[in-house]
Chain A
Amino acid sequence: MRPDPALLSSVFTGCMLLAAFFAIGRTRLTTFLRHYAASSACLAGVILVSAAVSGNPAEYAGAAATLVLKVVLIPLGLLRTARKLGDAMRLTSMTRPVLSYTLAAASVAGAWLLARRLPLSAASGRAEGGELPLAGLLFVALALILLGFLLIIIRRDLYSQIIGFLTLENGISAFAVVALGGVPFLMEMGIFAVAASGVVLMAVLSGQVHALYASHDTDALRELTD
């Protein structure tokens, strides 16, 4: 039996949001990275289903690159960096878990309101858009973007901020699927290359922060103020 693409896409979309949402309260680096990897794997699934529907080879490549980069390489790389530096595996948040989850819920609610207002869900840019539940994906894409922002704001350690940025990036990838059914192949690869270089640079910088301040806490970074 051929699985229903709409159902599959919905499941992936929902799981992507759940994984990102519950990452908010996690304070062990390994668990936190696992949540990110799970959310990214679901994103790869969404892109794969979209590729199967549209037959666009760029989307297959996008799904493969998402799997390799965001599910395997980036989480493992960050974990290795942290282990090498001997950083504590406990992450620090400015807010207690209950408040973190409340803020996350507010972000998700905000994304839902925003998704209804964006003049995008009515008709997708692609012809076969009707086959996929794009309204839901738009909502989840916006939710991931807001959750990414939230992580960057409430977390005080560099790893969480990197993951916050990457969560935001995942939201944008999902948004690209909604808006254009994926972008052309070369552009897709360019965006991946740029994002990957950015994360490598962030990891290098967090190594330098560690060497200078013997901590990965952003509280150490308070020298430059006016």
Chain B
Amino acid sequence: MSLLLLLLVPAAAAVLAAAAPDARSAGRGAVAASLAGAAALAAAAWPVVAAGERWFGGHWMLDRFTVTMAGLVVMVWVSAAAASTRYVGAEHDAGILPLRKVRLYYVLMPVFVAAMLVTLLTDHLGVLWIALEVTTLATTPLVALYRKDGAVEAAWKYLLLCSVGISVSLLGLLLLAYAGVRGGLPLGSALSLSALRGAAGSLDPQVVRWAFVLLFVGIGTKVGFVPLHPWLPDAHSRTPSPVSAMLSGVLLNVALYALLRSRTIVDLALGSAAWTSGFFLAFGLASVLFAAFVLLHQQNYKRMLAYHSVEHMGLIAFGLAMGPAGAAGAVMHMVGHTLAKSALFLSAGEILLRVHSTKIPNVGALRGRMPRTSIAFLLGFLGLIGVPTSAIFASELTFLMAAARLAPAAALAIVLALVIVAVGVLHHVFEMIYGRVDAGGDRPGATPGSPVREAWTLTHVVVGAQLALLFAGGVFFLTPGGYAAAERVAAAFTVRP
């Protein structure tokens, strides 16, 4: 019941936004809807969290992993909706976004959220595939929203590459279902994730291997693994910042979730996670190393954040290749990355509203001009590069310790890449915050009459809460109870040898 409510809330929000009389009320409606969605999720998830059980109902499935991911989606939904009232409101007032586009924005946001929630909650391969493709379709108009400065180009690449990727993954899903049918399941059950999981022992390993390769390449495109990533920095940097926060903060996790659900079936069919781990290790390493070098010379702060997503998806993949302990680390990393990245994209939105440029050399002296945002931005980056007690520190510690035993050379490469990233990123961030800016302070074209001192906005409140969670999360994960919690979530998709 509450599950149905969880999907009805975004639907209602989309309908209401289409008829919103002005930008303010559309924004308020979006915040109210996201809060209602959070309440519905809490009601649906409570029995699962309390009893630690796995729940099936018709075509739906809920376990600890689902609840964790859905919790992140809803958390970012609430944050992005709150930040949108400020961001979209300001762009509307400045005449950049007419009411028609504001409505489109607030209609597509809940559709996007609903598609992500369906991807997480469904037990049906077909529904999962359709929902994952709907996430692309719903966000393409948001990427193209500004219709200038490469926004349309970014949207084209995004739509074409992700659609092709998702199509390839459909081949994988069909093969998985085929393996199920050949293993004795009726067609209806062969399309059910839980039925396939139950019957994994009877699946033909050869077919299942092919299915995984296609799924990995297809869904991996949407996760943004190198070399399947070219759409990601464009799409994530061209869209309005609250949407960037959702795309980067949660959509990548949702795609990874879909991949992990099918990986579990493959691992069970093969009897161990060793074969699939090879893919995660290779693509994870490639993503981290590639992103590290691009980050060194990146001159656009939104693209810099986007490449960080490539790097962090690589790190999570690396963790997923490092056995059960690595998987627990990967769960911590997903949580930490979502918090840090959404906080950073929302802060980047504040900077963009003030400076009107995404080029790092055009930004400077933020410390004096935007003291609150600059502190949030700096803290967010410190959290992102894994400074204690960030949740990302806890996760990196966890999977690197596992990797030191399992793959020492790869662990060393990752540590080196992390150092390169930290150096590159801190250089850019210090330039933005403490660097010099030309006389006058604000760029030409800054909103006339914008106050010299920065005012508190709703975005600061949201970002502050996310950063608090990020740094408290690290402490929690380093306690025995916190580690055990991450392990229990990871157990939902980990196959022990």
Contacts and interface: CB of A to CB of B under 8 A. Distances in A.
Interface stretch (A9-17, A82-90, A119-127): A119-127
Given A123-B182, A223-B153, A226-B298, A176 B174 contact: yes
A98 interface: no
A152 interface: yes
Interface string B401-445: 000000000000000000000000000000000000000000000
Contacts of A180: 174, 177-178, 181, 187, 190
A100 to B, nearest CB: 19
A206 B156 CA distance: 8
A172 B238 CA distance: 31
Contact of B137 (A118, A152, A197): A197
Contacts of A197: 137
B277 interface: no
A165 interface: yes
Interface string B143-169: 010011110111111011001100100
A224 B159 CA distance: 15
Q: How large is the interface on A (under 10, 10 to 19, 20 to 34, 35 or more residues)?
A: 35 or more
B126 A198 contact: no
B140 interface: yes
B130 interface: yes
Nearest to B299: A226
Contacts of B153: 209, 220-224
A175 interface: yes
Interface string A165-181: 10011001001100110
A215 interface: no
Interface string A210-226: 00100000001111101
Contacts of B181: 125-126, 180
A191 interface: yes
Nearest to A226: B294
B134 interface: yes
Nearest to B162: A198
A226 B163 CA distance: 23
Interface in A159-212: 161, 165, 168-169, 172, 175-176, 179-180, 183-184, 186-187, 190-191, 193-194, 197-198, 201-202, 205-206, 208-209, 212
A23 interface: no
A158 interface: yes
Contacts of A175: 171, 174
B163 A184 contact: no
Contacts of B150: 223-224
B327 interface: no
Which of A126, A175, A183 has most chain B Cβ within 10 Å?
A: A183
A176 B170 CA distance: 9
B189 to A, nearest CB: 11
B152 A212 contact: yes
Interface stretch (B67-75, B202-210, B330-338): B202-210
Contacts of B137: 194, 197-198, 201
B39 interface: no
A179 B178 contact: yes
B286 interface: no
B21 interface: no
Interface residues of B, number: 49
A205 B153 CA distance: 9
B133 interface: yes
B123 interface: no
A158 B410 CA distance: 41
A202 B156 CA distance: 7
A197 B141 CA distance: 12
Given A172-B170, A212-B152, A183 B126 contact: yes
B319 to A, nearest CB: 26
Interface in A78-103: none
Contacts of A183: 126, 174, 191
Given A119-B204, A198-B159, A226-B298, A125 B178 contact: yes
A201 to B, nearest CB: 6
B133 A194 contact: yes
A198 B156 contact: no
A205 B144 CA distance: 8
B234 interface: yes
B303 interface: yes
Contacts of B130: 187, 190-191, 193-194
Interface in B218-243: 233-234, 238
A120 B160 contact: no
A226 B303 contact: yes
B127 interface: yes
Interface in B283-310: 294, 298, 303
Interface string B187-204: 110110000000000001
A168 B159 contact: no
Nearest to A56: B187
B175 interface: yes
A176 B160 CA distance: 22
A219 to B, nearest CB: 11
A61 to B, nearest CB: 15
B188 A161 contact: no
Given A152-B164, A184-B126, A194-B134, A208 B152 contact: yes
Contacts of A224: 150, 153-154, 157, 233-234, 238
Interface string B307-330: 000000000000000000000000
A149 B164 CA distance: 9
A168 B164 contact: yes
Nearest to B238: A224
B175 A179 contact: yes
A47 B164 CA distance: 22
A113 B210 CA distance: 15
Given A125-B177, A125-B182, 9 more contacts: A165-B167, A172-B167, A175-B174, A180-B177, A190-B126, A205-B140, A205-B144, A209-B156, A212-B148
5 contacts: A126-B181, A172-B174, A175-B174, A190-B127, A221-B152
Question: When A and B form their complex, which 5 residue pairs have the shortest distance between CB atoms, in order from nearest?
Answer: A187-B126, A125-B181, A223-B150, A221-B153, A179-B178
